[in-house]
Amino acid sequence: MSEAGDAKGVFASAAKKVKMGKRVEKALKEKAAASSSQEATEEDANKAPEPYTCIGHFDADFTELCRRAGLPPTEIPPVVLRAKRPGTPPPPDPKAKDPTPPEEPVDVAEEEPKPKTYVTKEKYSYFKPNIQVEMEHEEKPATVTEIYIRGWKIDDMMVDIFRNCFPTIEKLNTINLWNVGLTDKTLRDLAAIFPQCPNLKNVSIEGNPIAEEPWACLIGDDSLIVNLSLRHNEITDRGASGIGAALSTVTTCNKNLISLNLSHNKFSDVGAEAVVKGLRMNRVLLCLSLASNKITDKGAVKFGELLSRFPLTHEEVVERRKLLSDKGSPDRGTGKSPPPSRRAESKDRPGSVRSGSHLDKGDKKRDKSSKKKDNKHEKKNEKEDAGKGNKTVVMMDSKKDKDEGAKGGTKKDDKWKKGAKAVMAASLVAETVNKTTKGKKTTSSKDKKGGAAPESESPDMVEAINPLLDSVESIDGQLWIPGNRSIINLNLSRNEIGEAGLKSLLLALQYQITLANLAPHPALKGLMRLSLGRNPIRADSEAYQKLQDLLLTRDPFYKPQAKSPDGEVQSLVG
């Protein structure tokens, strides 16, 4: 019995050891699994998340990018629809039987319903940062067209978020930033983002004074901005100089900006002169506002010279000659202009340099022999142009100019009249050339195809011409070209312009009107609106009254009053 008991004890102890071994092995396996899972979680935490690809839904993209940037959900600015003024109710229908139903008596004890014209919010929620958007269709998040950010700082992290989501918004055309605390770096980063937005045309950055004043980066060569507003940015002469250089130089020009608003800033005549310099070679800008600055008569006189006509500088004359040499002179080879060896006779050389000493004897003999040939060609041209009267007009103008020169009646005040006559003569010659060339093209197309071929160029389309290639006039050894006639709206109100500046602007407007009557241009209409309110100008000033009368006729919606057969004046309006 004792032996049997000992055997049972040994068996029990062995079984116990086996069970203990299995438990230990199981515990070791669980411990290894736990350690491996912990290592995997640590590796996942250390691994960088996959980059987010924006899908073009601004709300979802902006929220996800802010979350990935580490912003807590409570600090992410919400994207909300921009509030709109409620529309006016439709007028009552006069055909209705009872347009004004009787009002029911209101019980004073009952509570009045809440008005539906506004929405109540929590305290201080109005001042929390948000991004206001406008959409083409509110139910479609991919149709965001305008973005408004107001009253909270845009830092480097927010600019990085905008760099990812702005270019993917297909229909985005307007960005409005007001009082967002931009710096030199953040403004330049935003300016680099704007060209990546395919349909962005309107940019407004207001209430953001920056000490470095890098505003010219918004008007670079690759800028697609059409309307730019930089109000209330405390722009000084330094910033205005950069903007003027960005508008145009002798060799470069911004080709997209149409409207520029620089009102409510702090630049003086120096900044205004820099802007004028930038508009010498720019024929794209249509609307310019410099209201509420510190511009005096000196700056207004510079604008008067810009709008009428101005002499070319040495750099501009050199660039003009380069352009003419690259393009090839249009008059070269027609017998009207001298050969290149006699450059003293060209328009690019001042008249004071011309003299007979520069001509060789051989050239004089050639001139005598060539006169006979020229006379034969002139007789043929006279027969071809008979009945048109174009040549006679040009010849009459040249005879009048010779008579005036013989009488000694040349005055500095009448120089612009001679310039207008020269432009008129050039335009008449160009018209005759165009008519003859068009007639030849149409006849040849009819002969070949047997039918009228469509014109390759429509008469309404006008090619942009470099101002340096415009017609010039030599006066006192300088080359003068017509001024900027592409600006149609100029705002100089609330400045310090007096009577002298007013007279300069009046002369410029008179010159533009005279030039438009003598040589009309389909694209360059000239100044149509000039704002001079709140300047130290007397309301009863004669020059101011003349300016207002001229501007009235320049208004595109102006309709002159017609006289009835009885002699009474009748208005054509309405």
Residue 274 has pLDDT above 70, yes or no: yes
Select from 468, 473, 463, 487 the least CA-distant residue to 279. Answer: 487
pLDDT for residue 531 is more than 90: yes
Q: What is the largest CA-CA distance in the chain?
A: 162
Task: Give 63-106 pLDDT, tens digit per residue.
Answer: 999 999 999 999 999 999 998 877 777 887 777 655 555 555 55
Residue-wise pLDDT tens digits, 217-257:
999 888 999 999 999 999 999 999 999 999 999 999 999 99
Residues 6+ positions from 296 with CB-CB distance below 8 Å: 268, 269, 495, 496, 497, 498, 501
221 DSSP 8-state letter? T
Which pTM does this prediction carry? 0.69
161: helix, strand or coil: helix
> pLDDT value at position 387?
44
Q: ∠61-77-65 over CA atoms, to 5°?
A: 30
Task: Say whether pLDDT at 345 is over 50.
Answer: no
- Give the number of residues written for the chain: 574
**Cα–Cα distance for residue pair 23/56, rounded to 1 Å:** 58
Determine contact, residues 241/216, Cβ cutoff 8 Å.
no
DSSP state of 497: -
Distance of CA 159 to the CA centre of its chain: 24
Q: What was the pLDDT predicted at 178?
A: 97
Mean of all residue pLDDT scores within the chain? 77
Residue 190 tokens, joined? 């935003």
Give phi and psi for 336, each to the nearest 5.
Answer: -85, -35
217 close to 187: Cβ distance less than 8 angstroms: yes
Interval 202-219 mean pLDDT:
97
pLDDT of the residue at 365 = 45
Query: The dihedral of CA 245, 248, 254, 257: what is its sign?
Result: positive
What is the Cα–Cα distance from 502 to 443, expressed in whole angstroms? 53
- Among 388, 486, 465, which Cα is nearest to 429's? 388
Of 48-57, 101-110, 221-230, 257-266, the least confident: 101-110
CA atoms within 13 Å, Cβ hemisphere of 422: 15
pLDDT of residue 147: 97
Report the C-alpha gap between 422 and 428 in whole angstroms. 10
Q: Please indicate whether residue 49 or residue 76 has the higher confidence score (pLDDT).
A: 76
Angle between helices 542-554 and 499-518 (to 10 degrees): 40
The letter for the amino acid at 486 is: S
Q: HEC states along 406-442?
A: HHCCCCHHHHHHHHHHHHHHHHHHHHHHHHHHHHHHH
